Amino acid sequence: MSILINKNSKIIVQGITGSEGSFHTQQMLNYGTNIVAGVTPGKGGQTVFEKIPVFDSVKDAKNETKANASIIFVPPKFAADAIIESAKQKINTIVCISEGIPVRDMIKAKQIVDDNNVNLIGPNCPGIITVDECKLGIMPGFIAKKGNIGVISKSGTLTYEAIDQLVKNNLGQTTALGIGGDPIIGTDMRKALQLFEDDDETKGIVLIGEIGGTMEIEAAKWAKDNATKPIVGFIAGQTAPPGRRMGHAGAIISGGDETAIAKMKIMKECGIHVCESPSNIGKKMKEVIEE
């Protein structure tokens, strides 16, 4: 078991003929990911990587290959439309790597994703990896090892850091999920926690957040009432200067406190094992899982 994707997932790469798309398609194929089709409007009919057919639309690709997951590498101007296209075709898991999508475009795309009841990961994220089965993203696959820990993170390289620390403490992973750092994302922390909670193979969960927004707090409150598995948490940005990213109106909605310190306090109160230092994530998980 794992969450969202596994070795049987049939994958479409949207933007497969672009430079990013083709580079990472090769990397994903090397990892053993089951890529069944590519989509680039106007380039339908070609074959790339010797065996992967390219289609003009997600609709055509899905009809021909019965694909159920997709990964998006298209420029930010067009990325929201790419998400909407897959959502309308009921592609079950959609991963959007693209960075720099306007917020207004994402609000629209998010609504359509929800209306069609599909899972979106990202945008602006490293993607998702189910160890030794399927990599739907840009993370270095070789650092992960098969095991029982689920990883959820807003950040790319900090996810790698967490995976590396787990491995050095002899803890492998089921699935690692980079949910993205944009203001509007598909799968949030609460939903990701629930997916790992429902996965029998996952025995512990690492949850890495950042300053800004209140997603970590929502997730922690959900975990307090629902999670049975140990959760190790960290929030990046304890030293970040206030107000650099967020305007004043933004802070009003939540009642003001989106700082790392405030989030860590609430997480602790909700029973999450919070690390003060980002270098203690692996060690802390080792301690709590052996209890």
Partner 1 sequence: MKIHEYQAKKILKNYEIPIQDGYTFTSIEKAEETIKKVEKDFNTTDFVVKAQIHAGGRGKGGGVKYSPNFDSALENARNILGMNLITPQTGKNGKLVNKVFITEAYDISKEYYVAITLDREKKKDVFMVSTEGGVNIEEVAKHTPEKITKIWVNPNTNLEKMDAEKLAVSLGFNDELKAEAVKIFIKLYKCYTEMDCTILEINPLIKSDSNEIIALDAKLNFDSNALYRHQDIISMRDLSEEDPMEIEANKFNLNYIKLDGNVGCMVNGAGLAMATMDIIKLSGGEPANFLDVGGAANAETIKNGFKIILKDKNVKAVLINIFGGIVRCDRVANGVVEAVNELGLKVPVVVRLEGTNAIEAKDILSKSNVKIIPADNFHDAALKVVKEVLK
Residues in contact with partner 1 by CB under 8 A are: 76-77, 100-105, 107-108, 110-111, 126, 138-140, 143, 153-161, 164-165, 181, 183-184, 208, 210-211, 213-215, 218, 234, 236-241, 243-244, 247-256, 260, 276-279
- Closest to partner 1 by CB, 37 vs 207, is 207
Closest by CA to 136, choosing from 127, 125, 123, 144, is: 127
Q: From the CB of 235, what's the least distance to partner 1, in Å?
A: 9
Q: From the CB of 165, what's the least distance to partner 1, in Å?
A: 8
Asked if the peptide bond before residue 123 counts as cis, ω within 30 degrees of 0, the response is yes
- Closest to partner 1 by CB, 37 vs 129, is 129
- Closest to partner 1 by CB, 67 vs 138, is 138
Q: C-alpha angle 131/136/137, rounded to 5°? A: 105
Per the residue annotation, which of 248, 255, 290, 291 is the catalytic one? Answer: 248
Closest by CA to 43, choosing from 65, 21, 11, is: 21
Q: From the CB of 31, what's the least distance to partner 1, in Å?
A: 13
Q: What type of residue sits at position 220?
A: A
- Closest to partner 1 by CB, 63 vs 170, is 170
SS3 280: helix
- Closest to partner 1 by CB, 63 vs 157, is 157
Q: From the CB of 100, what's the least distance to partner 1, in Å?
A: 5
Cα 124 from Cα 156, distance rounded (Å):
9
105: left (phi over 0), alpha (psi -120 to 50) or beta: alpha
Cα 4 from Cα 93, distance rounded (Å):
7
Q: Among this protein's residues, is 24 annotated catalytic?
A: no
16: left (phi over 0), alpha (psi -120 to 50) or beta: alpha
Q: From the CB of 5, what's the least distance to partner 1, in Å?
A: 19
The catalytic residues are 248
